[in-house]
Amino acid sequence: MKFHPGFELRIPDHKLSFRYGAGVFGPIPEMRRLDEIRPSLRDPGCDGPDPVYGIAMDVCREEHHEDLRKRMLLLGAVVFASGKLGEEPVRSQGHIHTAAPHSGWSPPELFEIWEGSAIIYAQETADDDPGRCFAISASVGDQVVVPPGWAHCVINADPSRRMAFGAWCDREYGFDYRGVRAHGGLAWFPLLPQKGKSSPIHWVRNPTYLSSELTVKTPSPYPALGLDSSVSIYNQFVKCPNAIQWVSEPARVAGVWPNFVP
């Protein structure tokens, strides 16, 4: 990768996996299959790449592993396939984070794009009224925060190439798919331009939700969270281990979340 996340990591050509450098801790990636993604798609019976993406949870420099365990933090590394899922770009299944037993909060998540281009889609709830809805377009090095309790997914915005990202997560992470699956997906579906056209991804409302508006935007600055967009999210932890502690302890910045804009 041209982007250096703060530790040695390579993505082998034509694979959805990682090679870890010397002194880097990381598991063999788990593969997410197309059948696992179907409940969130506009066309659940579509064809597409299978597996859709590979995910390695708990990647770090070996010297930091024990401290991260104590802090209930882990970094996930993810690589998405190129291609498309029917009319939609390759993406993850929509979900909400289940409450972490140690904090009682549905944890936020801090994303950083490492390769390619992405869209982080997020909506306030998976109820009939989805609340505010955002589609955040992100390029290499961009950082995006999804606040506690929001339903969200990650999208590969360029079907011609792979996309990779890292994300700080709560170590007691879990996924709640019930509300999203009950609505046949999130409140807005991303659709690719028709063949031969160069228009950007456009969005179609999911009619199983009440009417909502979608805000398409670039990442916000996050001064209230103490983030520095010029430093990788891993190196922010290295410089100051408390810098991203709000990921596993969202109550530290409880006042930030009610009106948060991703």
pLDDT per residue as tens digits for the range 29-56 = 999 999 999 999 999 999 999 999 999 9
Quote the percentage of the chain above a pLDDT of 90.
95
Q: Where residue 187 sits, what CATH number does that domain have?
A: 2.60.120.10
Please check whether residue 142 lies inside any domain of the structure: yes
* Residue 208 in tokens: 């199983």
In a domain, 1, yes or no: no
pLDDT value for 198:
58
Please tell me the pTM assigned to this model: 0.96
Tally of domains within the chain: 1
Residue 261: inside a domain, yes or no?
no
Domain of residue 143 covers 9-256
Does some domain include residue 221? Answer: yes
Cβ–Cβ under 8 Å, residues 172 and 72: yes
Beta bridge pairs of residue 60: 25
Question: Helical H runs in the chain?
Answer: 34-37, 65-70, 178-182, 233-239
Q: Which helix (H) or strand (E) holds 113?
A: strand 109-115
Closest CA to 144 of 179, 259, 152, 1: 152
Strand order of the sheet with strand 53-57? Answer: 30-32, 53-57, 73-80, 163-170, 109-115, 143-146
